[in-house]
Amino acid sequence: LRDAVLIGLARLGTCVYRKRYQTVRVRTRKAVMSTETRLPPGPRLPAAVQGMAFATMQQRVMPAMQRRYGDAFTTAMPGMRRCVIVSDPELVKAVFKAKPDVLHGGVNPLSHVLGPSSMFSLDEARHLSQRRLLLPPFHGERMKSYEAIIEEEALREMATWPEGEEFATFAPMMRITLNAILRAVFGAEDEELDGLRKLLPAMTKLGSRLVMVPALQRDLGRLSPWQRFMRQRAAYDRLVEALIDKGRRDPALEERADVLALLLQATHEDGTPMTDAEITDQLLTLLVAGHETTAGTLAWSVERLRRHPAVLSRLVAEAADGGGAYREATIREVQRTRPVIVGTGRYVAKPFDLGPWRLPPGYMIIIAATTMHLDSRFFARPREFDPGRFLGRKPDTYQWVPFGGGLRRCIGAAFAHMEMDVVLRTMLREFELAPATERPERWRFRGVAFVPSRGGQAMIRRRGYV
Ligand code: HEM
């Protein structure tokens, strides 16, 4: 019913817009010519209606808009400046290759919650300088050293999974990815690990809510969500500062493999070390960026595999033989069909030529992963779940964009891929996953990521069960 109402409103708005558009077209054209701004077409519905439609059913709204207006269209969202949504690889390439002073990551909804030194709060030189410090620990080849930690965390969590009854895998996957990041990235052990394990689930949950409702990101008194978040943040800072202190005093720091140890040894261009505030903000950024996204993709993997028994059987056989090429292709196919981050954004800081259009400063450009990933021009039979399409072939940088791209591409892509590979391999070896006949799970927005609406339901039996 909600969908029908929203579709109705969208259609009504489009009709009203068309009528109004006829009358204002000449005036608009004059204004456009005079400012040298050329915007792609798009609906003129109230921002609230468009925002609601995108938030609740963007998987249908985005492709419908693309069919109606083309590979770039202008839209409006509540609390955001006007947006241009893009779903053409050539335009995507122009966006990802733009200079950082022309297109900013700017005013990310996460930045207020993550702190002023977070990657999501920075632009241009400061962003690039932090990125230069953070990239080496996430280099693809280093990832092998984290596999044992991930497998240990996966086995520990999976030992508690119930047999013979349906259960949601998203929460267990969140525990695996949280513990994996706390150990591999924060280098946390003992009391700090326990303290962060207790604090962070509540803190990231409240943080996601605050991101969804920016009006709550201010101090409205002792019991307000923002003050509660600030208290949690202070507790987080204390725990991470203890880890930093311990690291600085550790005589074996150079031999440690965790990301914190590498950050403690990294230096800015002028030779100065990272400050405590930079490290605490960056570690929280890595956790928030990497924890729910990876868990959501893993929950979607369970949801997809149960509905594609032939793919599942092939993966089980491959895992038993020690192979991994088909699993790697499967992870890419899950991310194509169920990208947890559905759009990557950039703010226009200086007039920007996007194909035939010229966008003025203040506009936001969103790369629509969901639309491109389901476009038959780029992926044959796009609605089919077929990992074979990526077997022995890497996806195109400007068509397959679950990790964004360019100078802000996800730093943790190799970490996430390795982690999903190890967790899936462990799950396939440990359990028989029963196929499902129910309808696919819907997409549910959690403030940062879209995850399966029923949490990626699983039904398992331990292998060797009689
Ligand atoms: C399946 C899992 C993941 C997905 C789908 C994902 C997706 C993304 C996307 C779409 C962006 C924005 C890219 C852009 O603007 O072009 C991003 C940025 C980022 N991600 Fe990930 N991510 C994942 C896992 C991780 C992990 C595991 C980490 C670290 C442990 C991480 C750290 C980051 C950071 C630090 C940024 C900001 C990069 C910058 O601003 O330069 N992500 N991620």
Question: How does pLDDT run across 181-190, given as a tens digit for each residue?
Answer: 999 999 998 8
CB-based burial, 108-117: b 16+ in 10 Å, e otherwise: bbbbbbbbeb
Atom of ligand 1 nearest to the CA of 297: 1
Q: Give per-residue pLDDT as tens, 68-83.
A: 999 999 998 776 668 9
Report pLDDT digits (tens) over 378-430.
999 999 999 999 999 999 999 999 999 999 999 999 999 999 999 999 999 99
301 C-beta closer than 6 A to ligand 1 = no
* pLDDT of 21 above 60: no
Q: Does ligand 1 come within 6 angstroms of the Cβ of 43?
A: no
Whether residue 290 has its Cβ less than 6 Å from ligand 1: yes
284 lines ligand 1 (CB under 6 A): no
Ligand 1 atom closest to Cα of residue 291:
27
Q: Does residue 364 have its Cβ closer than 6 Å to ligand 1?
A: no
Report pTM: 0.91
- CA torsion, ordered 7, 13, 16, 20, to nearest 10 deg: -140
What contacts 453, CB < 8 A, 6 or more positions away? 441, 442, 443, 444
Query: In this structure, which residue's CA is closest to atom 43 in ligand 1?
Result: 410
What is the CB neighbour count within 10 angstroms for residue 222? Answer: 8
Residue 238 pLDDT exceeds 50: yes
Distance 344 CA to ligand 1 centre (A): 10
Q: How far is the CA of 48 from the centre of ligand 1 (A)?
A: 28
Q: How far apart are CA 120 and CA 114, in angstroms?
A: 8
**Average pLDDT score over residue span 92-117:** 88
CA of 224 from ligand 1 middle (Å) equals 30
Q: Whose CA is nearest to atom 21 of ligand 1?
A: 410
Are 207 and 108 within 8 A, CB to CB?
no
Whether 149 is in the pocket of ligand 1, judged by its Cβ within 6 Å, is no
Give 217's pLDDT tier (boundaries 50, 70, 90): confident
403 Cβ below 6 A of ligand 1: yes
268 lines ligand 1 (CB under 6 A): no
Least confident of 8-12, 398-402, 462-466: 8-12
What is the 209 CA–ligand 1 centroid distance (Å)? 19
Query: Which 3 state secondary structure label does DSSP give 84?
Result: strand
Give the model's confidence band at 93: pLDDT under 50 very low, under 70 low, under 90 confident, else very high: very high
Hunting for tokens 């194509």 — which residue is that? 336
Task: pLDDT band for 1, please (50, 70, 90 cuts).
Answer: very low
Neighbours of 66 (CB within 10 A): 22
The whole-number average pLDDT for the span 122-141 is 93
Ranges 101-105, 140-144, 411-415, most confident: 411-415
122 lines ligand 1 (CB under 6 A): no
**Do 306 and 312 contact (CB within 8 A), yes or no?**
yes
In this prediction, residue 448 carries a pLDDT of 79
Distance 141 CA to ligand 1 centre (A): 18
User: In testing the pocket of ligand 1, which one of 260, 278, 403 has its CB within 8 Å of the most ligand atoms?
Assistant: 403
Residue 225: CA atoms inside 13 Å, Cβ hemisphere, count? 17
Task: Determine if ligand 1 sits within 6 Å of the CB of residue 344.
Answer: yes
Please give the pLDDT value at position 76: 85
Pairing of strands 450-452, 443-445: antiparallel
- Cβ-count burial 335-351 (b if 16+ within 10 Å, e if not): bbbbbbbbbbbbbbbee
Lowest mean pLDDT among 136-140, 160-164, 165-169, 333-337: 136-140
- The closest of 168, 169, 432 to 319, measured between CA atoms, is 432
Nearest to 92 by CA among 448, 395, 383: 395
Can you tell me the distance from the alpha carbon of 420 to that of 34, in angstroms, rounded to the nearest whole number?
52
The residue whose C-alpha atom lies closest to atom 16 belonging to ligand 1 is 404
Q: Average pLDDT for residues 428-445, to the nearest whole number?
A: 95
The token pair that represents 169 in the structure block: 């895998």
Nearest CA to ligand 1 atom 3: 293
**pLDDT above 90 for 58:** no
